[in-house]
Amino acid sequence: MKIYLVFVILLILNDVSYAQCSSVPRSHARLQWSETAKLVSPDRGWELEVRPLLTSDENQSPVRLRSCQGTGSRTLLTLQGSAEAYWGPDSKSLLIINEPVANSNKLLFLRTTSVKGSVEEEASGQIDEAVRQRLSQELGEKRHIEFYLPQFVSWKASGLVLAVGGATSSGADGPMSPYCYGFLIDPGSREVRGVLSEQSLKAKFGKECRISP
């Protein structure tokens, strides 16, 4: 009887903790600075939330990540336009493609620690830096990147797949040329493990790059 009561109490406590994140779990959401939004991780352990600040003279809506168990919460970024958010299958990986301006996006990648309710914020921009650096190598250092428009493709057992497209020029007045690559990312090290051509990206994943805003 005592064991049964303990089991019931644990179930109740578990329901109470998850009740803090009552939205239906989803793996992806498009976020807008002017709209309230919530994205609960597939395991219902974390919630990403946008609360618009419509009284501000500029678009400055905070995007917060909080533990559904109430063990931690913090602001990840200030949303100035829109963003795409993707939870990984393990609910511990979170990719945000921030779109603060029309021609250049920014990749934010975070790993959550459910035990302590913490987020490795200091490493969130490493994937963006790694992709930009490798992209410059592929294009040639003399090419100026006019448009930088990474997109999510999929989570694979081997890592994260991105499609990175845009346009480059040889200078301020030079003509623009499109580019498109697939990037294979190791979430653990936050390093680029491989680069696919436009043809390979389409053949393997059926994905095309976004070339212009």
Instruction: Report which residue type is found at 96.
Output: I
Residue spans of the domains in the chain: they are 1-123, 125-213
Write down the pLDDT at residue 188: 86
Write down the pLDDT at residue 4: 41
Mean pLDDT of 33-50: 94
Report yes or no: 198 and 207 within 8 Å, Cβ to Cβ: no
Half-sphere exposure of 194 (CA within 13 A, CB side): 9
Structure tokens at 95: 């990719």
Distance CA 54, CA 32 (A): 12
Handedness of CA 154, 44, 107, 127 (dihedral sign): negative
Write down the pLDDT at residue 6: 37
SS (H, E, C) 111-164: EEECCCCEECHHHCCHHHHHHHHHHHHHHCCCCEEEEEEEEEEEEECCEEEEEE
Distance CA 131, CA 192 (A): 7
What φ, ψ does residue 197 adopt, rounded to 5°? Answer: -70, 170
pLDDT exceeds cutoff 80 at 147: yes
pLDDT exceeds cutoff 50 at 76: yes
Between the two ends of the chain, the Cα-to-Cα distance in Å is 64
Write down the pLDDT at residue 111: 85
Rounded to the nearest integer, the mean pLDDT of the chain is 85
Q: Is 87 left (phi over 0), alpha (psi -120 to 50) or beta?
A: beta
pLDDT exceeds cutoff 70 at 177: yes
Q: For residue range 80-128, what is the model confidence (pLDDT) as tens digits?
A: 899 999 999 989 899 999 998 889 999 999 888 643 445 555 557 899 9
Mean pLDDT of 163-175: 88
Identify the residue with better confidence: 157 or 205: 205
